[in-house]
Amino acid sequence: MQNLPDIKFRLRRFLPTVVSLLVTLLYPLAIWFGHGRVEPRVLALLLVVAAATRLPTLKLNRASRWWLAGALLLAALAIWNNALLPLKLYPVLVNLGMLAVFGYSLYAPPSVIERMARLSDPALPAYAIAYTRRVTQVWCVFFVINGTLALVTAIWASAAVWSFYNGVLAYVLMGCLFAGEYLVRIMVRRRHRRLDAQQARQVDGQHV
């Protein structure tokens, strides 16, 4: 059984991430619900709360610093102009941040997906490294498309449409991508296992 100090340490470590994730998930719905009821400068406090949850990671994560600066800039614009548009641009900022992180990992490997894969299997074979790089590229394309749609809905769509896409549909599409990648990963593993088995049989036949 884990001791109590260790459990408390883990909670303190992951609590900011959990809170930030919840704020990001609920943010579009909160903006839609508050639209016409609450002034944008008050709704901008949601971005301030989201930014505050990232403060513990600033010393370790350079990307969090840029994200914090962008979130505070959007909040400042919303407060200064009492405008809703800067708040609706937050999903665009999130996609740009994710694109920067994933894209940079392709320039300076290992890729983000490879790092995640090595958490469960440190000794990845060569084909798996190539596959994780390809998956990282697919996610980069997703962030480009999703960020573009977030921008289009922020500028030209109503608050209800913007909220539906960024608060519901975008996550459905993300879930479909996760599920599709998982199925492809299973097929890739099976194919390479068959190839390895065939090569092993050929080697055994040559030795005989």
**pLDDT tens by residue, 157-174:** 998 899 999 989 999 999
Residues 3 and 57 in one domain: yes
Q: Where does a domain end: 43, 58, 88?
A: 88
Residue 53 predicted with pLDDT over 80: no
Residue 52 predicted with pLDDT over 90: no
Residue 205 predicted with pLDDT over 90: no
Residues 101 and 202 in one domain: yes
Rounded CA-CA distance 72/78 in Å is: 10
pLDDT number for residue 36: 77
In this structure, are residues 113 and 133 in contact, taking their beta carbons and an 8 Å threshold?
yes
Question: To the nearest whole percent, how much of the chain has pLDDT over 90?
Answer: 46
Residue 142 predicted with pLDDT over 60: yes
Q: Where does a domain end: 64, 88, 112?
A: 88
Count of domains in the chain? 2
Residues 75 and 33 in one domain: yes
84: Cβ–Cβ under 8 A, 6 or more apart, which residues?
31, 35, 40, 43, 78, 159
pLDDT number for residue 162: 94
Q: Where does a domain end: 88, 117, 140?
A: 88
Residue 7 predicted with pLDDT over 50: no
Residues 84 and 155 in one domain: no
For residue 181, what are its two tokens? 């990648």
pLDDT number for residue 1: 43
Residues 103 and 181 in one domain: yes
Residues 101 and 185 in one domain: yes
Question: Using one digit for the tens of pLDDT, what is the confidence trace for 80-139?
Answer: 999 999 999 999 999 998 999 999 999 998 999 999 998 888 888 888 999 999 999 999
Residues 134 and 73 in one domain: no
Residue 195 predicted with pLDDT over 90: no
The domain in which residue 107 lies consists of 92-208
In the predicted model, what is the mean pLDDT of the chain?
A: 83
Residues 30 and 7 in one domain: yes
Residues 177 and 191 in one domain: yes
Residues 102 and 66 in one domain: no
In this structure, are residues 88 and 75 in contact, taking their beta carbons and an 8 Å threshold?
no
Tell me which DSSP letter residue 110 carries: S
Residues 116 and 199 in one domain: yes
Residues 7 and 82 in one domain: yes
